Amino acid sequence: MTYLTRHADKRLKRLLEVHPALLIEGIRGVGKTRTATRLAAATLRLDNPAVAAMVATDAEAAFANLPRPLLIDEWQRVPTVWDSVRRMIDDDRTPGRFILSGSTRAAVTADIHAGAGRILTTRLRPMTLSERRGTTPTVSLSDLAEHGIDAVRGAQSTFSPEEQIAPTVESGLPGYLDMHPIDHQEAIRSYLDLAMSRDISEVTSSARNTTKLRGYLRSYAATVGTNAEHSAIQTAAEISKASGESYHDLLNRIGMIEELPGWSNHRLKRLTKRPKRHLVDPAFAAADHYDTTTSLSERRYRLGELFESAVICQIGSTADAQGLNWRFAHLRSAGGNREIDLIAELPHGDTIAVEVKMSTTITTRDARHLAALQDQLGERFRAGLIVHPGETAYRLADRIAVTPLGVLV
């Protein structure tokens, strides 16, 4: 299968020139091994029982004569590898010695903090629109941060409106691209079934009810793109509060959940702290509820929630891959009369705010919450974007632009 370029490829290569080791995390099937193999001179796959047994017995001897960078794939299957790599780095801090890849937050027995200053952690997420096509975004998010809306004005999306909406039902996992829609959704549901048994077992040794855990994920998927109360998810899944909190933690640890926290700012009062509910890939939520392009055309509200989730996930993935160190949140007043779907805090203190709209016709009324935030933040308001599945980016108001999703990701 042809390798599709990832936004993170150049950054990972550069980081290996600086750091002695990289840890590439991500959900199963996101492409960690394929991406990491292209950077490595040799590979040890610990999902091979014989290799895992050898490494568990004497890791440093197993690593000794292999060329660098050495990829240790599925490293969490032998958690003692972490300490072995750390000790070898203490003896020799030459950049580019090791690459570790494994499922997100899977190594509960390894002292991750002991790797601080030695092993740099990065995360690979499902593919964005341009990654699926093997291209680069029309507008770099770093240019947006530097130049504001001038970076996007006049930019044309290379994706049609239908293609920009597609990530609501089409997963960004490389192995599931270009499948027939029916086969695609069946494969995703099977993937989720396996994740609830196989992947969860890597983060906990405690007994659990897999059927109820699977039901909790399905109930959670129904709330994607909303700030639903966790108690409502628990009620829908017919589980106790304690079970709900435990299941939420487990899904978070395997990287299935990527919630957007409520934003806090000293210039704004009475903001809710409740998170917006998101999965790492909104197509997981669609598949789990049999949401298709056809059915969603008659359920515009649900389509809007999934499209918002797709925008949030893809902008976050692109920013991470570019190493921008943006911090993301959402804004919602306690009374619910003001809401902004995505707040990006830039390292130097400025803010980029994003509203997500399904409509291809945008008016100044759609920008009223962005304009109010601009008034309150003043010069700290770098740019406001109304992201939709349109064709051309254009200025709507001072420092506020209408921007197709396909321009940015």
User: In sequence order, what are the beta bridge partners of 25?
Assistant: 102, 123
Domain finish residue from 80, 108, 123: 123
Buried b (16+ CB within 10 A) or exposed e, 131-152: bbeeeebbbbbeebbeebbebb
Structure confidence at residue 333 (pLDDT): 85
Give 108's pLDDT tier (boundaries 50, 70, 90): very low
pLDDT exceeds cutoff 60 at 113: no
Q: How far is Cα 404 from Cα 409, in angstroms, rounded to an integer?
A: 10
104 pLDDT exceeds 60? no
Judge if 328 and 367 occupy the same domain. yes
Q: Are residues 69 and 98 in the same domain?
A: yes
In a domain, 13, yes or no: yes
Q: Are residues 135 and 83 in the same domain?
A: no
Residue 109: the pLDDT is 44
**Owning domain of residue 62:** 9-123
Is residue 207's pLDDT more than 70?
A: no
Tell me which of 88, 123, 158 is where a domain ends: 123
Residue 185 and residue 306 in one domain:
yes
User: What is the distance of C-alpha 289 from the center of its chain?
Assistant: 21
Provide CB contacts within 8 A for 287, sequence distance 6+. Answer: 169, 171, 184, 185, 188, 189, 192
Residue 143, in any domain of the structure: yes
186 shares its domain with 255: yes
Residue 237 CA to residue 239 CA, distance in Å, equals 6
Return the sign of the alpha-carbon dihedral for residues 122, 124, 128, 131: positive
Q: Which two tokens stand for residue 384?
A: 């406001």
Burial 160-199 (b: 16+ CB within 10 A, else e): ebebbbbbbbbbbbbebeeeeeeebbebbeebbeebbeeb
365, burial (CB in 10 Å: exposed 0-12, middle 13-18, buried 19+): exposed
390 falls within a domain: yes
pLDDT tens string 29-63: 999 999 999 999 999 999 999 999 999 999 999 99
What does the alpha-carbon distance between residue 29 and residue 250 come to, in Å, rounded to a whole number? 18
Is residue 175 domain-resident? yes
The answer on 210 and 155 residing in a single domain is: yes
Same domain, 247 and 389: yes
Note whether 241 and 371 are same-domain residues: yes
Q: How many domains does the chain have?
A: 2
Closest CA to 281 of 161, 191, 387, 402: 191
Mean pLDDT, rounded, of the chain: 93
**Domain identity same for 133 and 49:** no
Same domain membership, residue 88 and residue 31: yes
Q: In sequence order, what are the residues at sequence separation of 6 or more whose Cβ sits closer than 8 angstroms to the Cβ of residue 161?
A: 360, 389, 390, 391
The answer to whether residue 4 is domain-embedded is: no
Lowest mean pLDDT among 103-107, 164-168, 275-279: 103-107
Residues 368 and 265 in one domain: yes
Q: How far apart are CA 157 and CA 171, in angstroms?
A: 20
Residue 1 lies in a domain: no
In this model, does residue 107 exceed pLDDT 90?
Answer: no
- Which single residue is written with the structure tokens 């950049």? 95
Query: Given 89, 123, 157, which residue is the final one in a domain?
Result: 123
Task: Read off the pLDDT of each residue in 375-381 and give the average, rounded to a whole number.
Answer: 95
Same domain for 117 and 185, yes or no, is: no
List the CATH number of the domain containing 80. 3.40.50.300
